[in-house]
A = this chain, B = another copy of it.
Amino acid sequence: MSPRGKAPKAPSQSEPTIHDVARRAQVSKSLVSMVIRGGEGVSKQSQAAVLQAVKELNYRPNIIARSLVQRRTRMIGVLLPDLRNPFFSEVISGVQGRARELAFRILFKTGERQPELEEQAIQNLLELRVDGLILAAPRVEEQIIIDAGRWTPVVVLNYQISDDSSDSLSNDNIAGAALAVEHCANLGHRRIALIEGGSGRAAQTRREGYLRAMRRFGLADYIQTAEGAHTEEGGQRGARELLRTTPLPTAIFASNDLCAIGAMDCLEEAGLKVPEDISLVGYDNTTLAALRHISLTSVNQPGSEMGRTAVDRLSERIDNGRTKPLHDVLPPSLVVRSTTASPRDESRDSE
Protein backbone atom coordinates (compact mmCIF):
# COMPACT_ATOMS: atom_id res chain seq x y z
CA MET A 1 0.00 0.00 0.00
CA SER A 2 2.74 2.46 0.85
CA PRO A 3 5.95 2.92 -1.11
CA ARG A 4 9.20 1.43 -0.03
CA GLY A 5 10.75 3.58 2.59
CA LYS A 6 14.26 3.60 1.25
CA ALA A 7 16.12 6.73 0.26
CA PRO A 8 19.81 6.00 0.50
CA LYS A 9 20.95 9.52 -0.17
CA ALA A 10 19.71 12.99 -0.84
CA PRO A 11 19.84 13.79 -4.56
CA SER A 12 22.14 16.74 -4.09
CA GLN A 13 22.45 19.80 -1.96
CA SER A 14 18.94 20.96 -1.45
CA GLU A 15 16.97 22.85 -4.04
CA PRO A 16 16.40 26.58 -3.73
CA THR A 17 13.18 27.57 -2.01
CA ILE A 18 11.02 30.60 -2.15
CA HIS A 19 12.89 31.77 0.87
CA ASP A 20 16.21 31.77 -0.95
CA VAL A 21 14.68 33.74 -3.77
CA ALA A 22 13.26 36.27 -1.35
CA ARG A 23 16.60 36.78 0.33
CA ARG A 24 18.41 37.14 -2.94
CA ALA A 25 15.88 39.60 -4.30
CA GLN A 26 15.77 41.45 -1.02
CA VAL A 27 12.02 41.08 -0.65
CA SER A 28 9.65 39.00 1.42
CA LYS A 29 8.54 35.47 0.77
CA SER A 30 4.97 36.50 0.11
CA LEU A 31 6.02 38.94 -2.55
CA VAL A 32 7.92 36.21 -4.33
CA SER A 33 4.90 34.01 -4.12
CA MET A 34 2.74 36.66 -5.75
CA VAL A 35 5.15 37.19 -8.59
CA ILE A 36 5.51 33.48 -9.29
CA ARG A 37 1.81 33.05 -9.73
CA GLY A 38 1.62 35.85 -12.29
CA GLY A 39 1.45 38.55 -9.71
CA GLU A 40 -0.95 41.45 -9.82
CA GLY A 41 -0.42 44.41 -7.62
CA VAL A 42 3.33 44.12 -7.52
CA SER A 43 5.61 46.97 -8.45
CA LYS A 44 7.56 46.56 -11.66
CA GLN A 45 10.70 46.94 -9.72
CA SER A 46 10.20 44.15 -7.21
CA GLN A 47 8.86 41.98 -9.96
CA ALA A 48 12.03 42.37 -11.97
CA ALA A 49 14.16 41.71 -8.91
CA VAL A 50 12.28 38.52 -8.14
CA LEU A 51 12.37 37.27 -11.69
CA GLN A 52 16.07 37.80 -11.83
CA ALA A 53 16.68 35.99 -8.59
CA VAL A 54 14.55 33.12 -9.86
CA LYS A 55 16.68 32.85 -12.95
CA GLU A 56 19.95 33.11 -11.11
CA LEU A 57 19.08 30.45 -8.60
CA ASN A 58 17.36 28.27 -11.16
CA TYR A 59 14.40 28.22 -8.85
CA ARG A 60 11.39 26.03 -9.56
CA PRO A 61 8.27 26.46 -7.44
CA ASN A 62 7.46 23.35 -5.46
CA ILE A 63 4.01 22.38 -6.59
CA ILE A 64 3.75 19.77 -3.91
CA ALA A 65 4.01 22.38 -1.19
CA ARG A 66 1.57 24.59 -3.02
CA SER A 67 -0.87 21.73 -3.36
CA LEU A 68 -0.69 21.02 0.33
CA VAL A 69 -1.68 24.48 1.38
CA GLN A 70 -4.20 25.06 -1.37
CA ARG A 71 -5.74 21.67 -0.91
CA ARG A 72 -5.90 21.17 -4.61
CA THR A 73 -3.39 19.47 -6.82
CA ARG A 74 -4.59 20.32 -10.30
CA MET A 75 -4.06 16.66 -11.04
CA ILE A 76 -6.58 14.37 -12.65
CA GLY A 77 -6.39 10.64 -12.19
CA VAL A 78 -7.13 8.52 -15.23
CA LEU A 79 -7.80 4.83 -15.02
CA LEU A 80 -7.95 2.78 -18.20
CA PRO A 81 -8.31 -0.96 -18.70
CA ASP A 82 -5.15 -1.03 -20.83
CA LEU A 83 -3.52 0.68 -23.75
CA ARG A 84 -3.29 -2.15 -26.23
CA ASN A 85 -6.74 -1.28 -27.49
CA PRO A 86 -6.31 1.83 -29.64
CA PHE A 87 -9.68 3.05 -28.50
CA PHE A 88 -8.21 3.84 -25.11
CA SER A 89 -5.19 5.47 -26.67
CA GLU A 90 -7.60 7.80 -28.35
CA VAL A 91 -9.44 8.46 -25.12
CA ILE A 92 -6.29 9.37 -23.31
CA SER A 93 -5.08 11.50 -26.17
CA GLY A 94 -8.25 13.51 -25.84
CA VAL A 95 -7.90 13.70 -22.08
CA GLN A 96 -4.32 14.79 -22.33
CA GLY A 97 -5.03 17.48 -24.88
CA ARG A 98 -7.88 19.05 -22.99
CA ALA A 99 -6.05 18.70 -19.69
CA ARG A 100 -3.19 20.71 -21.06
CA GLU A 101 -5.53 23.44 -22.18
CA LEU A 102 -7.10 23.62 -18.74
CA ALA A 103 -3.80 23.36 -16.87
CA PHE A 104 -4.43 19.93 -15.39
CA ARG A 105 -1.86 17.20 -15.06
CA ILE A 106 -2.62 13.58 -15.72
CA LEU A 107 -1.86 10.79 -13.30
CA PHE A 108 -2.35 7.66 -15.22
CA LYS A 109 -2.96 4.04 -14.32
CA THR A 110 -4.07 0.89 -16.05
CA GLY A 111 -6.26 -1.65 -14.32
CA GLU A 112 -5.37 -4.55 -16.59
CA ARG A 113 -9.03 -5.50 -16.44
CA GLN A 114 -8.57 -6.76 -12.90
CA PRO A 115 -10.98 -5.34 -10.33
CA GLU A 116 -8.46 -5.58 -7.49
CA LEU A 117 -5.85 -3.66 -9.41
CA GLU A 118 -8.43 -1.09 -10.37
CA GLU A 119 -9.52 -0.60 -6.83
CA GLN A 120 -5.96 -0.26 -5.68
CA ALA A 121 -5.33 2.30 -8.39
CA ILE A 122 -8.35 4.33 -7.40
CA GLN A 123 -7.35 4.38 -3.74
CA ASN A 124 -3.88 5.37 -4.72
CA LEU A 125 -5.13 8.22 -6.85
CA LEU A 126 -7.39 9.40 -4.06
CA GLU A 127 -4.55 9.35 -1.55
CA LEU A 128 -2.67 11.58 -3.90
CA ARG A 129 -5.57 14.01 -3.67
CA VAL A 130 -6.31 14.22 -7.37
CA ASP A 131 -8.86 16.94 -8.09
CA GLY A 132 -10.87 14.58 -10.23
CA LEU A 133 -11.02 11.05 -11.55
CA ILE A 134 -11.79 9.63 -14.95
CA LEU A 135 -12.66 5.96 -14.92
CA ALA A 136 -12.83 4.34 -18.32
CA ALA A 137 -14.81 1.15 -18.59
CA PRO A 138 -14.23 0.24 -14.94
CA ARG A 139 -14.75 -3.31 -13.77
CA VAL A 140 -14.53 -2.50 -10.13
CA GLU A 141 -17.52 -2.87 -7.83
CA GLU A 142 -19.95 -0.03 -8.17
CA GLN A 143 -19.71 0.83 -4.49
CA ILE A 144 -16.06 1.74 -4.89
CA ILE A 145 -16.96 4.22 -7.59
CA ILE A 146 -19.72 5.69 -5.49
CA ASP A 147 -17.37 6.16 -2.56
CA ALA A 148 -14.80 7.78 -4.79
CA GLY A 149 -17.51 10.09 -6.10
CA ARG A 150 -18.21 11.32 -2.61
CA TRP A 151 -14.59 12.15 -2.14
CA THR A 152 -13.80 13.90 -5.42
CA PRO A 153 -15.48 14.56 -8.78
CA VAL A 154 -15.64 11.43 -10.91
CA VAL A 155 -16.51 10.87 -14.54
CA VAL A 156 -17.24 7.32 -15.57
CA LEU A 157 -16.84 6.43 -19.21
CA ASN A 158 -18.98 3.82 -20.82
CA TYR A 159 -20.80 2.71 -17.79
CA GLN A 160 -23.78 4.53 -16.44
CA ILE A 161 -23.63 4.18 -12.75
CA SER A 162 -26.90 3.87 -10.87
CA ASP A 163 -25.96 6.54 -8.40
CA ASP A 164 -25.75 10.29 -8.63
CA SER A 165 -22.39 10.76 -6.99
CA SER A 166 -20.58 10.91 -10.31
CA ASP A 167 -21.02 12.05 -13.89
CA SER A 168 -21.07 9.58 -16.71
CA LEU A 169 -20.36 9.70 -20.37
CA SER A 170 -21.36 6.73 -22.42
CA ASN A 171 -21.70 5.58 -25.87
CA ASP A 172 -25.16 4.13 -26.38
CA ASN A 173 -24.02 0.55 -26.69
CA ILE A 174 -27.55 -0.75 -27.08
CA ALA A 175 -28.18 1.51 -30.03
CA GLY A 176 -24.74 0.82 -31.43
CA ALA A 177 -25.24 -2.91 -31.41
CA ALA A 178 -28.60 -2.37 -33.05
CA LEU A 179 -26.96 -0.37 -35.80
CA ALA A 180 -24.66 -3.26 -36.53
CA VAL A 181 -27.48 -5.78 -36.61
CA GLU A 182 -29.68 -3.52 -38.68
CA HIS A 183 -26.97 -2.97 -41.23
CA CYS A 184 -26.50 -6.71 -41.67
CA ALA A 185 -30.23 -7.34 -41.77
CA ASN A 186 -30.68 -4.68 -44.40
CA LEU A 187 -28.06 -6.38 -46.50
CA GLY A 188 -30.19 -9.51 -46.37
CA HIS A 189 -28.46 -11.42 -43.61
CA ARG A 190 -30.40 -13.49 -41.17
CA ARG A 191 -27.85 -15.71 -39.49
CA ILE A 192 -26.09 -12.85 -37.77
CA ALA A 193 -23.91 -14.15 -34.97
CA LEU A 194 -22.29 -12.27 -32.11
CA ILE A 195 -18.81 -12.75 -30.78
CA GLU A 196 -19.05 -11.53 -27.23
CA GLY A 197 -16.60 -9.24 -25.56
CA GLY A 198 -16.26 -10.85 -22.18
CA SER A 199 -17.48 -9.77 -18.80
CA GLY A 200 -16.90 -6.03 -19.09
CA ARG A 201 -19.95 -3.81 -18.83
CA ALA A 202 -19.75 -2.38 -22.32
CA ALA A 203 -19.50 -5.90 -23.69
CA GLN A 204 -22.53 -6.98 -21.72
CA THR A 205 -24.54 -4.03 -22.94
CA ARG A 206 -23.58 -4.66 -26.54
CA ARG A 207 -24.69 -8.23 -26.10
CA GLU A 208 -28.01 -7.03 -24.77
CA GLY A 209 -28.33 -4.64 -27.71
CA TYR A 210 -27.62 -7.46 -30.12
CA LEU A 211 -30.26 -9.70 -28.57
CA ARG A 212 -32.89 -7.00 -28.55
CA ALA A 213 -32.18 -5.95 -32.10
CA MET A 214 -32.31 -9.50 -33.39
CA ARG A 215 -35.73 -9.91 -31.84
CA ARG A 216 -36.92 -6.59 -33.11
CA PHE A 217 -35.97 -7.52 -36.64
CA GLY A 218 -37.76 -10.83 -36.32
CA LEU A 219 -34.50 -12.75 -36.26
CA ALA A 220 -34.91 -14.25 -32.81
CA ASP A 221 -34.54 -17.74 -34.24
CA TYR A 222 -31.18 -16.88 -35.70
CA ILE A 223 -29.64 -15.61 -32.52
CA GLN A 224 -26.23 -17.17 -32.05
CA THR A 225 -23.50 -16.09 -29.71
CA ALA A 226 -19.95 -17.23 -29.14
CA GLU A 227 -17.70 -16.46 -26.24
CA GLY A 228 -14.90 -14.06 -26.90
CA ALA A 229 -13.10 -11.09 -25.45
CA HIS A 230 -12.13 -7.55 -26.37
CA THR A 231 -8.83 -8.76 -27.76
CA GLU A 232 -7.65 -10.31 -31.00
CA GLU A 233 -7.23 -13.60 -29.26
CA GLY A 234 -10.81 -13.37 -28.05
CA GLY A 235 -11.98 -12.78 -31.59
CA GLN A 236 -10.13 -15.81 -32.85
CA ARG A 237 -11.59 -17.94 -30.13
CA GLY A 238 -15.09 -16.76 -30.92
CA ALA A 239 -14.65 -17.30 -34.63
CA ARG A 240 -13.34 -20.81 -34.11
CA GLU A 241 -16.40 -21.60 -32.08
CA LEU A 242 -18.71 -20.24 -34.76
CA LEU A 243 -16.89 -22.17 -37.46
CA ARG A 244 -17.89 -25.39 -35.80
CA THR A 245 -21.62 -24.67 -36.32
CA THR A 246 -23.79 -25.65 -39.28
CA PRO A 247 -25.02 -23.80 -41.09
CA LEU A 248 -22.42 -21.12 -40.68
CA PRO A 249 -23.59 -17.62 -39.88
CA THR A 250 -23.42 -15.30 -42.87
CA ALA A 251 -22.56 -12.28 -40.79
CA ILE A 252 -20.69 -11.73 -37.55
CA PHE A 253 -20.91 -8.81 -35.21
CA ALA A 254 -17.82 -8.67 -33.03
CA SER A 255 -17.95 -6.83 -29.74
CA ASN A 256 -15.08 -4.53 -30.65
CA ASP A 257 -12.57 -3.90 -33.41
CA LEU A 258 -9.76 -5.89 -31.90
CA CYS A 259 -12.11 -8.81 -31.57
CA ALA A 260 -13.30 -8.38 -35.16
CA ILE A 261 -9.77 -8.38 -36.46
CA GLY A 262 -8.97 -11.56 -34.59
CA ALA A 263 -12.09 -13.11 -36.06
CA MET A 264 -11.15 -11.97 -39.53
CA ASP A 265 -7.77 -13.63 -39.27
CA CYS A 266 -9.34 -16.84 -38.14
CA LEU A 267 -11.99 -16.85 -40.85
CA GLU A 268 -9.51 -16.23 -43.61
CA GLU A 269 -7.18 -18.87 -42.32
CA ALA A 270 -10.13 -21.23 -42.57
CA GLY A 271 -10.44 -20.27 -46.22
CA LEU A 272 -13.46 -18.04 -45.93
CA LYS A 273 -13.47 -14.71 -47.68
CA VAL A 274 -14.68 -11.52 -46.03
CA PRO A 275 -17.14 -10.16 -47.03
CA GLU A 276 -17.94 -12.58 -49.86
CA ASP A 277 -18.48 -15.60 -47.66
CA ILE A 278 -19.14 -13.86 -44.42
CA SER A 279 -19.67 -10.27 -43.37
CA LEU A 280 -18.03 -8.74 -40.34
CA VAL A 281 -18.82 -5.70 -38.22
CA GLY A 282 -16.71 -4.32 -35.41
CA TYR A 283 -17.22 -1.72 -32.71
CA ASP A 284 -15.28 1.42 -31.73
CA ASN A 285 -14.19 2.49 -35.19
CA THR A 286 -10.59 2.67 -34.05
CA THR A 287 -7.72 3.69 -36.28
CA LEU A 288 -7.23 -0.02 -36.91
CA ALA A 289 -10.60 -0.33 -38.60
CA ALA A 290 -9.75 2.60 -40.82
CA LEU A 291 -6.53 1.07 -42.12
CA ARG A 292 -7.01 0.44 -45.77
CA HIS A 293 -5.88 -3.15 -45.40
CA ILE A 294 -8.41 -3.85 -42.75
CA SER A 295 -11.18 -1.53 -43.85
CA LEU A 296 -13.54 -2.86 -41.25
CA THR A 297 -17.16 -1.78 -41.05
CA SER A 298 -17.49 -0.57 -37.49
CA VAL A 299 -19.75 1.26 -35.08
CA ASN A 300 -18.19 4.60 -34.32
CA GLN A 301 -17.42 5.74 -30.84
CA PRO A 302 -15.52 9.03 -30.63
CA GLY A 303 -12.78 8.17 -28.16
CA SER A 304 -10.78 11.34 -28.32
CA GLU A 305 -13.88 13.49 -28.04
CA MET A 306 -15.06 11.49 -25.07
CA GLY A 307 -11.73 12.07 -23.39
CA ARG A 308 -11.96 15.79 -23.94
CA THR A 309 -15.50 15.97 -22.68
CA ALA A 310 -14.63 13.99 -19.59
CA VAL A 311 -12.07 16.60 -18.64
CA ASP A 312 -14.63 19.32 -19.28
CA ARG A 313 -17.10 17.63 -16.97
CA LEU A 314 -14.48 17.52 -14.26
CA SER A 315 -13.52 21.12 -14.80
CA GLU A 316 -17.15 22.19 -14.49
CA ARG A 317 -17.22 20.71 -11.02
CA ILE A 318 -13.71 21.72 -10.00
CA ASP A 319 -13.58 25.22 -11.43
CA ASN A 320 -17.20 26.22 -11.79
CA GLY A 321 -18.77 24.51 -8.85
CA ARG A 322 -21.36 22.48 -10.69
CA THR A 323 -22.90 19.91 -8.37
CA LYS A 324 -25.79 18.47 -10.36
CA PRO A 325 -24.73 15.18 -11.95
CA LEU A 326 -24.65 14.90 -15.71
CA HIS A 327 -25.19 11.67 -17.57
CA ASP A 328 -24.44 12.01 -21.25
CA VAL A 329 -25.22 9.31 -23.72
CA LEU A 330 -23.66 9.80 -27.11
CA PRO A 331 -25.44 8.42 -30.14
CA PRO A 332 -23.27 5.95 -32.06
CA SER A 333 -23.06 5.89 -35.83
CA LEU A 334 -22.08 3.23 -38.29
CA VAL A 335 -19.10 3.52 -40.57
CA VAL A 336 -19.52 1.19 -43.49
CA ARG A 337 -16.35 -0.10 -45.07
CA SER A 338 -15.36 -3.22 -46.96
CA THR A 339 -16.12 -6.09 -44.64
CA THR A 340 -19.86 -6.17 -45.14
CA ALA A 341 -21.88 -7.23 -48.18
CA SER A 342 -25.02 -9.12 -49.01
CA PRO A 343 -24.90 -12.84 -48.36
CA ARG A 344 -23.67 -14.86 -51.29
CA ASP A 345 -26.63 -17.14 -51.69
CA GLU A 346 -29.91 -15.98 -50.27
CA SER A 347 -31.85 -19.15 -50.98
CA ARG A 348 -29.38 -21.21 -49.00
CA ASP A 349 -29.76 -18.74 -46.22
CA SER A 350 -33.38 -19.70 -45.68
CA GLU A 351 -32.31 -23.33 -45.58
Q: Which chain A residues have a beta carbon within 8 Å of chain B's beta carbons?
A: 1-12, 14-15, 36-38, 58, 60-65, 67-68, 70-75, 82-84, 86, 89, 92-93, 96-97, 100, 102-110, 117, 123-124, 126-129, 147, 150-153, 261, 264-265, 268-269, 287-288, 291-294, 318-321
Contacts and interface: CB of A to CB of B under 8 A. Distances in A.
Given A8-B321, A109-B106, A261-B293, A287 B63 contact: no
B64 A67 contact: yes
B129 A62 contact: yes
B93 A83 contact: yes
13 contacts: A3-B103, A11-B152, A58-B147, A60-B126, A61-B127, A64-B128, A65-B68, A84-B89, A84-B93, A97-B110, A261-B291, A264-B292, A291-B294
A287 B84 contact: yes
A93 B288 CA distance: 19
Contacts of A265: 291-293
A27 to B, nearest CB: 18
Most buried by B among A84, A147, A291: A291
A106 B105 contact: no
A80 B68 CA distance: 28
- Number of copies of this kind of chain in the complex: 2
Nearest to A36: B2
Given A7-B70, A109-B96, A127-B63, A293 B321 contact: no
Given A1-B38, A6-B319, A108-B106, A264 B287 contact: no
A110 B124 contact: no
A61 B2 CA distance: 9
Contacts of A63: 127-129
Contacts of A74: 3
Most buried by B among A10, A60, A268: A60
A61 B126 CA distance: 9
A230 to B, nearest CB: 14
A37 B5 contact: yes
A294 B296 CA distance: 13
Contacts of A102: 4
B292 A268 contact: yes
Given A74-B3, A126-B60, A293-B261, A321 B89 contact: no
